[in-house]
Amino acid sequence: MRFGAHLPTAAFGGRLAGRDVLIEYAETAEALGFSTLCANDHLVFSVPWMDALVALGLVAGRTSRVRLMTTAALLAVRGAATLGSALAALQHLSAGRLEAAVTPGSSPSDYEAAGGDFGSRWARFDGEVPRLRAYLQKAIPDAPPPIWVASWGSEAGLRRVARLGDGWLASAYHGTPRHLAGSLSYLRAQLAELGKDPAGFPMALATTYLFLSEDPIALSSAEGLVVSPTTAPKDIRDRLLICTPEECVHRVRQLEAAGVGEIFVWPVRDELVQLRLFAGQVIPLI
């Protein structure tokens, strides 16, 4: 199993990370052996949010080995040409280390901010993926980045992943190990039906919020930063990595048994400390 890390682009603690913090985080993740640095995409959110493409551009120049990934870029909001131009620049500046996961988005607020129609997002997305692929193949014909498709794991969403994507980006917030295992089985059947090799089709789990501690009060406080008591799934505590290191190992092993090959952790506070804790107390036991 591989482990990547979300850049701290959301101000869960009320304050956005500065340039030096982002750079140190990226350099630390690469030095610790994390596979990927990724950034989620929103135009507006409930907390201050840093643009994902700009953040990835900053760390592209301060790293040399770690893969970069959008998780996931708002293709139906930004449009194929606008997003493609930024992705082509990131691929060039990172010397070919970019993988682009895309999504229609799940927040009406992003569409309102851009003057778009949230209700037509799926039809727009289906049309924009081929346009994005064509744009990237023209802009950087020698090394266009793979295009992953994000889905929470519905059958319709997984059919779209199989049809349009080079990989599946799943969400820890919206999937239990049991759900993910069933979704992977369904996806592989769809890929085989389309003549694609299921064994060569990658999958990663994003938005895996992380905070490790033995202190129940600290864990409850960290959980409150990202879990809404009114809208979160009832079993959300079991889906995230906001727990003791021992419990974290158990949850990661469950995800591995479900077929998850890569997990992108997202420390919700004390980012550098949490990356080092995860690398030192969890990864060696998986």
Where do the domains of the chain lie, and which CATH numbers do they carry? 2-285 (3.20.20.30)
Q: What is the DSSP letter of 35?
A: S
Q: Given this model, what pLDDT does residue 14 score?
A: 81
pLDDT at 15: 87
Distance CA 241, CA 254 (A): 12
The gap from C-alpha 60 to its chain's centroid, in whole angstroms, comes to 17
CA–CA separation, 145 and 86 (whole Å): 12
Q: What is the pTM of this model?
A: 0.95
Residue with tokens 């229609």: 104
- Among the listed residues 9, 29, 27, the one whose alpha carbon sits nearest the alpha carbon of residue 274: 29
Of 31, 74, 40, 49, give the one whose Cα is nearest residue 206.
40
Low-confidence ranges of the chain (pLDDT < 50): none
Q: What is the pLDDT of residue 233?
A: 79
